[in-house]
A and B are shown apart, each in its own frame.
Chain A
């Protein structure tokens, strides 16, 4: 005898309890602390901040802990928290030229003012498992890293010029027109297409790293090719300043770490534009180089219309395709919702298929 499924409420409670237990894991193993995650899982924290669009390493670490290391779930926690925060003010545009760089490299010039600063990078490590890390309680080399090469420490430079500025001086790269218009805010207004570049960049910087990476990769393989060079990639801290109208001056409210990538793209000219280098731009919270580079490639590809290039049908050229599908919280929600009950729709489909089959069967019989 069928008993109508009751007890959804109790099932949910029990599931939550079990989840909490699973999150903790074996209680004989010490519990992770938020500072441990913040300090030792920093790149995960960075990703959660970038895609969660909220710069708060402690909350991002908490989200990672609560999400059991599922970064998209952690991003989701941050996003859900972020929407409840009041919007107190808009900062002034951050000046990445005044960034206190930890890392700054150019792939287009061997040396340049400000120097090449490798900084903490995996780039030249050999990807061999370091079993020494398995032994607990060891402290890393006490050796203080030597100051970056180039013209003295980058830290001491008050201003590290952008590579694209050198090219601009010679008129070799497109001019970036200054604009005082307030950029749209996709967290406060619905996305409207066609989007302007500011809105596209906003969507990309909080877009899923994997998605943006794959889109960028597809352009490198010929689906909307843009011939990108990394003109410059830099990571470091910038000051965030806010205008206080009551006081009549700006106040620095803190520092955030950013990664900025500017690509220089070959461009043979089009019907509307002379031959010159063009730009792609990526800016991401935290040290997130893969994302920043990918973002700048996708940004450049999406600019085909403005530069008078042809639309080749490549997915990365298709603004609506890229912008409507880059948000992993939207994507994962809609994807996973199909595990919710659909009895009613499925029942409707069952009836339809039965009816169609019955009619098809009857027709066949009549024909025989």
Chain B
């Protein structure tokens, strides 16, 4: 796709400066009104809608030549789409890249927040498929915008209540809505609810880009973001009740990997950088062994 993309034929980080300015304005507005979805004139990007065009545009608007970029998908640096987006910015912006969360200045992510706590000065850019937390309760954009304007979130609470009535608990496991600074209900993108507590009070800037839906929103540093719940049914996180089989971590989010057709499975950190870092420091999980010879 971008194989023949000659670096000099495109502006730094692909987008022209006018477009970046338009996106930066939307970002600034988003930061000024935390959790509010700012419409922006999303451009067609050379990767498809649904592949992270919103995140890519936000990243492109944020990048400066001195940045060090990390891209993850499902928490991993080596999934194909993360590789593809990282390469895109290497080619069009020539910025340094890293897999280490602590070393990155800008991190673009799909579906996870890194396990390593973020620090001041970092920017975390989320790829967002459906920015509207009320969308599956009300399909019309004209209606949902009005509901946000009037702070009318009763429908959402009814939905959560019905979950409890039916299942005894809130049956949302990812893209779990949060209320930002007591005002806007916000979709945190499809991160597992395990990650929700990391949204609040982060020293990093968190930016959310939805390309197809043409929306940008933001959580400035140190912002309150409360996962919706009820007093008698407080929000709780969830993860597989195991330790990482490679690094032994007890408190990281795990991927379940099917290892054979006899029901065998193992659990490994979804955050590959976190897991590799722990192993490099000598921590071992149940099944950790050096790579067998000849393994690809």
Chain A residues with CB under 8 Å of chain B are 1-9, 11-12, 16, 76, 79-80, 82-84, 86, 187-194, 320, 324, 329-330, 332-338, 340-345, 347-352, 355-356, 359
**Inter-chain contacts of B73 with A (CB < 8 A):** 340-341
CB <8 Å contact, A6 and B50: no
Stretch in B149-157, B218-226, B227-235, B253-261 touching the partner = B253-261
Partner of B49, one of A84, A334, A341: A334
Stretch in B37-45, B62-70, B118-126, B201-209 touching the partner = B37-45
Known: A5-B79, A188-B41, A320-B142. 7 other contacts (CB 8 A): A3-B295, A6-B296, A9-B78, A16-B1, A320-B141, A344-B190, A347-B240
A320 to B138, CA, bound (A): 13
CB <8 Å contact, A80 and B44: yes
Q: Which residue of B lies closest to A19 (CB)?
A: B1
A4 to B87, CA, bound (A): 21
A7 to B76, CA, bound (A): 12
CB <8 Å contact, B78 and A2: no
Whether A80 touches B45, Cβ cut-off 8 Å, given contacts A341-B73, A355-B238, is yes
CB <8 Å contact, A351 and B173: yes
A349 to B256, CA, bound (A): 12
CB <8 Å contact, B192 and A345: yes
**Inter-chain contacts of B173 with A (CB < 8 A):** 345, 348-349, 351-352
Whether A190 touches B42, Cβ cut-off 8 Å, given contacts A5-B78, A344-B74, is yes
CB <8 Å contact, A330 and B212: yes
**Inter-chain contacts of B80 with A (CB < 8 A):** 8, 11-12
- In this complex, the interface size class of chain B, counting residues with CB under 8 Å from chain A, is 35 or more
Q: Is B182 an interface residue (CB 8 A)?
A: no
CB <8 Å contact, B50 and A337: yes
CB <8 Å contact, A83 and B111: no
CB <8 Å contact, A344 and B255: yes
A2 to B244, CA, bound (A): 13
CB <8 Å contact, B79 and A352: no
**Inter-chain contacts of A79 with B (CB < 8 A):** 44
The distance from the CB of A357 to the nearest CB of chain B, in whole angstroms, is: 11
A157 to B46, CA, bound (A): 44
**Inter-chain contacts of B248 with A (CB < 8 A):** none
A340 to B73, CA, bound (A): 9
CB <8 Å contact, A340 and B272: no
Whether A337 touches B140, Cβ cut-off 8 Å, given contacts A8-B78, A330-B212, is no
**Inter-chain contacts of B188 with A (CB < 8 A):** none
A343 to B270, CA, bound (A): 9
CB <8 Å contact, A76 and B190: no
28 A-B contacts (beta carbon < 8 Å)? A1-B292, A2-B259, A5-B78, A9-B87, A12-B83, A12-B84, A83-B44, A84-B10, A84-B14, A86-B16, A190-B40, A190-B41, A191-B214, A330-B49, A332-B48, A333-B50, A335-B50, A337-B48, A337-B50, A337-B51, A338-B50, A340-B51, A340-B110, A342-B190, A344-B190, A347-B253, A355-B169, A356-B167
**Inter-chain contacts of A341 with B (CB < 8 A):** 73-74, 79, 81
Partner of A334, one of B74, B129, B270, B292: B129
CB <8 Å contact, B238 and A320: no
The distance from the CB of A305 to the nearest CB of chain B, in whole angstroms, is: 13
Whether A345 touches B129, Cβ cut-off 8 Å, given contacts A1-B289, A9-B83, A83-B44, is no
A352 to B80, CA, bound (A): 27
Name B's interface SS: loop
**Inter-chain contacts of B168 with A (CB < 8 A):** 356, 359
Whether A6 touches B167, Cβ cut-off 8 Å, given contacts A1-B287, A320-B140, is no
A191 to B238, CA, bound (A): 38
Name A's interface SS: helix
CB <8 Å contact, B287 and A344: no
**Inter-chain contacts of A350 with B (CB < 8 A):** 240, 256
Q: Which residue of A lies closest to B86 (CB)?
A: A9
CB <8 Å contact, A329 and B44: yes
**Inter-chain contacts of B191 with A (CB < 8 A):** 344
A4 to B295, CA, bound (A): 11
CB <8 Å contact, A4 and B246: yes
Q: Is B291 an interface residue (CB 8 A)?
A: yes
A314 to B136, CA, bound (A): 21
A145 to B259, CA, bound (A): 69
Residues facing A in B244-293 (CB within 8 A) are 245-246, 253-257, 259, 266, 268, 270, 272, 287, 289, 291-292
CB <8 Å contact, A192 and B74: no
Q: Is B193 an interface residue (CB 8 A)?
A: yes
A16 to B49, CA, bound (A): 20
**Inter-chain contacts of B296 with A (CB < 8 A):** 3, 6-7
**Inter-chain contacts of B171 with A (CB < 8 A):** 352, 356
**Inter-chain contacts of A189 with B (CB < 8 A):** 41
A12 to B88, CA, bound (A): 13
Q: Which residue of A lies closest to B49 (CB)?
A: A333
Q: Which residue of A lies closest to B11 (CB)?
A: A84
A13 to B190, CA, bound (A): 29
The distance from the CB of A332 to the nearest CB of chain B, in whole angstroms, is: 7
Q: Which residue of A lies closest to B245 (CB)?
A: A2
CB <8 Å contact, A329 and B49: yes
CB <8 Å contact, A343 and B255: yes
A334 to B50, CA, bound (A): 5
Whether A83 touches B50, Cβ cut-off 8 Å, given contacts A8-B78, A12-B80, A343-B270, is no
CB <8 Å contact, A345 and B46: no
Per-residue A-contact encoding for B156-197, CB less than 8 Å = 1, 0 else: 000000000001110101110000000000000011111000
Q: Which residue of A lies closest to B276 (CB)?
A: A4
**Inter-chain contacts of B287 with A (CB < 8 A):** 1-2
**Inter-chain contacts of B167 with A (CB < 8 A):** 356
**Inter-chain contacts of B259 with A (CB < 8 A):** 2
CB <8 Å contact, B141 and A324: yes
**Inter-chain contacts of A86 with B (CB < 8 A):** 16
